[in-house]
Amino acid sequence: MQKYINPPKQDWEGLLQRPPVDVSGLFDSVATVLDDIAREGDTAIVRYSEKFDGYAGTNLVVSPEEFDIAEKQIPSELKQAIQRAAYNIDSFHKAQWQTAVKVETEPGVTCWQKSVPIEKVGLYIPGGTAPLFSTVLMLGIPARIAGCEEIVMCTPPGKTGIVNPAILYAAKTAGIKKVFKVGGIQAIGAMAYGTQTVPKVYKIFGPGNRYVTAAKQLITIRGTAIDMPAGPSEVLVMADDSANPAFVAADLLSQAEHGADSQVILLTNSPELLDATMAEIDKQVRQLPREAGASSALSNSKAFLLPSVDVMMEMSNHYAPEHLILSVRNAGQLAERVRNAGSVFIGHYSPESAGDYASGTNHTLPTHGCARAYSGVNLSSFLKKISFQEITGEGLKSLGPVIEKMAEAEELLGHKQAVSIRLEHLKS
């Protein structure tokens, strides 16, 4: 990690630059795959699955028997862990339901909103060197709670056509029944356009590599919604002299191990904590199976020695991290000052890993500074809010002249007429 001591604020923007994630250079090749899928359906899916994933089979559907076999292959301890995580995720997301409130904005004019589930949603689950079965829970459970009528899940199989057993067990736990052996660009295209086998959906969720990211960006232009812009994982840890350097180092490495394009940031006002944490990073990184990727990520990462916790919070809000860990005194009070972050972990015993797996919050979060404007996935992500209004005759008599005057000022006389004709009728 690169170390900086109290850099001036005008330098923050440059120092906090993330590794570049521009995927526009992939658009032409990705668009070709998407166009082929839109035109050829399953034929293109099979062709590209063999080309990109090495799966030459034509069977794209995970059968009930495959679910059963996968469940038998999962160790009981992992089953229990998945079930407990699912319970917590279910509890947290169920609590996010909001009661509709009718508001009489003036006599005879009543307005309200109603939350309605998105009918058809698609979930993409990577299945490469790190099969993200936890993401199945994070996406499938809120989709089920929201009441989405059709939940479609795509995940790449191995070359023999077998899907990772933990992914299938998590899907069954989340209540997902439609799972397809399709990965990468072809999965995004299949769910966006629909094929002879894979249903078309209205919104697609889930992480992926650069090609998946490019595909998701392209389908938004063509009319399919996505969860949010996605980029490499990141964490920012704020730590003072009350923090445990071993904890801080472990938290930083937990995100660095995602790969070379990830970034981790340490902010501290303690020179001793900074030095001790750097030493711990050097020691702990050697123990990771993914040492090479973590070490590469550390080369993109920064540690800042700043004069105070106030300045640390200011820099954190400027950076807008995906994950923010507050390993400081009075962390709960400091958390009230967070303005830009995907998910916040308060205190010395709240590792980011808890949110990734089992505490109940969602781990599908905005990256690359998008936390300034985007929320992480939550129950509302699977809902749309429809506005309703009901106006009585007396209400229109009162409000109508206001509408007429405004419509006339905008020179939209058809709008005015829609009110005027009703007011004339009410006079008769």
The widest CA-to-CA distance across the chain, in whole angstroms, is 87
Q: Determine if residue 104 is labeled as part of a ligand binding site.
A: no
* Residue of 146, 128, 20 whose CA lies nearest to 90: 146
What is the chain's percent helix, strand, coil content, to nearest 5? 50, 15, 35
Q: Determine if residue 363 is labeled as part of a ligand binding site.
A: no
Q: Which of 234, 257, 280, 323 does the annotation list as catalytic? A: 323
Q: Which of 280, 322, 352, 404 does the annotation list as catalytic? A: 322
Residue 89's identity, in one-letter code, is I
Q: What is the C-alpha to C-alpha distance for residues 119 and 97, in angstroms, rounded to an integer?
A: 17
Structure tokens, 197: 């086998």
Pairing label, strands 150-155, 120-124: parallel
Please return the burial class of 121, using the count of CB atoms within 10 Å of its CB with bins 0-12, 13-18 and 19+: buried
Q: What is the C-alpha to C-alpha distance for residues 206 and 146, in angstroms, rounded to an integer?
A: 17
- Tell me whether residue 93 is one of the annotated catalytic residues: no
Q: Determine if residue 209 is labeled as part of a ligand binding site.
A: yes
Q: Determine if residue 258 is labeled as part of a ligand binding site.
A: yes
Dihedral angle over CA of 347, 349, 355, 356, nearest 10: 130
CB under 8 A, 24+ apart: contacts of 369-374: 369/18, 369/319, 369/320, 370/228, 370/229, 370/231, 370/320, 371/320, 371/321, 371/322, 371/340, 371/341, 371/342, 372/320, 372/340, 374/228, 374/229
- Tell me whether residue 368 is one of the annotated catalytic residues: no
Q: Determine if residue 333 is labeled as part of a ligand binding site.
A: no
* Residue of 300, 329, 341, 346 whose CA lies nearest to 21: 300
Q: Determine if residue 368 is labeled as part of a ligand binding site.
A: no
* Residue of 276, 299, 230, 285 whose CA lies nearest to 257: 285
Q: Determine if residue 93 is labeled as part of a ligand binding site.
A: no
Q: Determine if residue 124 is labeled as part of a ligand binding site.
A: yes
Question: Which residue carries 């229990």 as its tokens?
Answer: 80
H-helix or E-strand spanning residue 181: strand 178-181
Pairing label, strands 150-155, 225-226: unpaired
Q: Which residues are annotated as a binding site for NAD(+)?
A: 124, 186, 209
Q: Which residues are annotated as a binding site?
A: 124, 186, 209, 233, 255, 258, 323, 356, 410, 415
**Residues classed as catalytic:** 322-323
Q: Which residues are annotated as a binding site for substrate?
A: 233, 255, 258, 323, 356, 410, 415
Q: Which residues are annotated as a binding site for Zn(2+)?
A: 255, 258, 356, 415
